[in-house]
Structure 1
């Protein structure tokens, strides 16, 4: 698995947006971190993404891979959002690596919605060689929505991660397709150019509910879901949790009352849970 950064640009925002970053994420995010937009090689394709790290290079920091949601350019992370979200993680004392996935944001290839593009997540790992602040022996991973699906699939392919967090994550494509109009449109757009049998097979191959035993048992998993989520329905996480209980898998499930897909009304609570989970397993 070869991968390297071939382009990198430090994100610089207009003054008004800088003030919004400070207001929304805090002064440490703006003052003490660097966020870069990058192009890296994944399976020979030029793929766009981001890296973030603390400015203090007197020590090394654990690494976190962050998996975005959405399909295609819908859900792609813009520079402003990257500066805030990834800067926040960096301000907690982590080096962050994120992919836009192949086919998106000017990347080469085609977004395969949990197929070959899972390699775009795995191929972020070697990028740590090019960031002096990284502790390359300690890795965590986090994914929201479709990024939760990408996280689950990644955890079937490597034991490198010491902690994982999934928020509003897709665990069962086939199950939700009829119950959520949003998911039906998403599936038809991303996986719909196939026969019924091919469509069914591709859905099953991307649904961790069908093979939870393949998840890395070395990776404690925090699952967070809003119980008012109308996009990825709450039972995705609940149904998976029953499977994980049967397997005696190390996990925690948190269902947030009234939480929508983006958990907007629980932001502070969610950030606190995320930080504590990563600190517990990546810094101790």
Structure 2
């Protein structure tokens, strides 16, 4: 199975491996409303079934029309492109659901990257959303405002955190979604979005972060290119309020404000050269001091995408979601594990 997981991860490298690298192109004009039309009265989300077999991802998961080994799950799910209302903006994304009609717990997938780099694509929805959906979940993710034909302007963890929170009422209009059971899965920058959502709301049963950005001050020190090409370009009034802007987006600075009802799983490689592991270590120590329900798993020689640990990573993700989102179990975990 390991080769299958590695293939799946390679199909969406911007999300798991290069999520903090920036392409400094101008944002594209928004045209979501032109494509989708206006929302009807009280409508919060529109969906369109995607025939993924007619997209490039099909060549990676099918052989002669049959799923390759490890991708058998694709026959049990449907993929939808979506647009939903977030503060009056039309924001784009994707959703994966089981084919079998029932009520399912939900997972909000928070992508990495910035602007259109790391954007959600059909391949992401199929190989990442779909793998989780096949286990009995409605999985949905946003491209955030201003990106991928969405309206508005990205703020890299500013008002665009509402694009995560507003997925909850949108899910309320999805017949198969049980919004009393919702989890978060955030990758790289998406981990920052997880933490910001946990600061604003206690409606999430559990959260998982992979290679998460949790301290922008560390990022500024370790990767100066992030400040010049991402922070300064996307964060409003950055040059006039740098310290405030960085701290407001850094969970390490406000651990006491994270909702203790959300069980947190932190996965981080100790050779991550994109989101330095010092961020995760420091956050783990601060969370431990206040007895926050969490587990920090560090991976020896693991990179940003944990490319050498795909089996272990997915096993931990599925276990955490099943225990704390699907089955709402009492927290019973060790605080720190090292995977060699």
Short-chain TM bin: over 0.9
Distance of aligned partners of 1:257 and 1:11 in 2 relative to their CA distance in 1, 3 Å threshold: farther
What secondary structure is seen at the aligned counterpart in 1 of 2:57? helix
**Does the alignment pair 1:187 with 2:227?**
no
Equivalent residue for 1:108, pick from 151, 160, 170 = 151
Equivalent residue for 1:167, pick from 200, 206, 210 = 210
**Does the alignment pair 1:99 with 2:142?**
yes
- Residues 8, 39 of structure 1: 8 Å contact kept: no
What secondary structure is seen at the aligned counterpart in 2 of 1:236? helix
What secondary structure is seen at the aligned counterpart in 2 of 1:109? coil
Equivalent residue for 2:71, pick from 5, 20, 26 = 26
Distance of aligned partners of 1:234 and 1:40 in 2 relative to their CA distance in 1, 3 Å threshold: same
> Quick one: distance in 2 between partners of 1:282 and 1:272?
15
Equivalent residue for 1:274, pick from 288, 301, 317 = 317
**Does the alignment pair 1:61 with 2:101?**
no
Distance of aligned partners of 1:3 and 1:141 in 2 relative to their CA distance in 1, 3 Å threshold: farther
What secondary structure is seen at the aligned counterpart in 2 of 1:202? helix
Structure 2: stretches of 5+ with no match in the other structure: 1-41, 62-66, 328-340
- Deviation of 1:192 (Å): 8.2
- Residues paired across the two proteins, number: 280
- Deviation of 1:40 (Å): 0.9
Q: Which residue of 1 aligns with 2:25?
A: none
**Does the alignment pair 1:157 with 2:200?**
yes
Matches within 5 A, 1:208-227: 208-227=251-270
- Residues 186, 192 of structure 2: 8 Å contact kept: yes
> Quick one: distance in 2 between partners of 1:3 and 1:255?
43
Q: Which residue of 1 aligns with 2:6?
A: none
Matches within 5 A, 1:195-206: 195=239, 197-206=240-249
Give the superposed CA RMSD: 1.8
Over 6 Å off, 4+ runs: none
**Does the alignment pair 1:251 with 2:265?**
no
| TM-score normalised over the length of structure 2 | 0.78
- Deviation of 1:106 (Å): 0.4
Distance of aligned partners of 1:189 and 1:13 in 2 relative to their CA distance in 1, 3 Å threshold: farther
Range that drifts further, 95-104 or 259-268: 259-268
**Does the alignment pair 1:145 with 2:145?**
no
**Does the alignment pair 1:12 with 2:52?**
yes
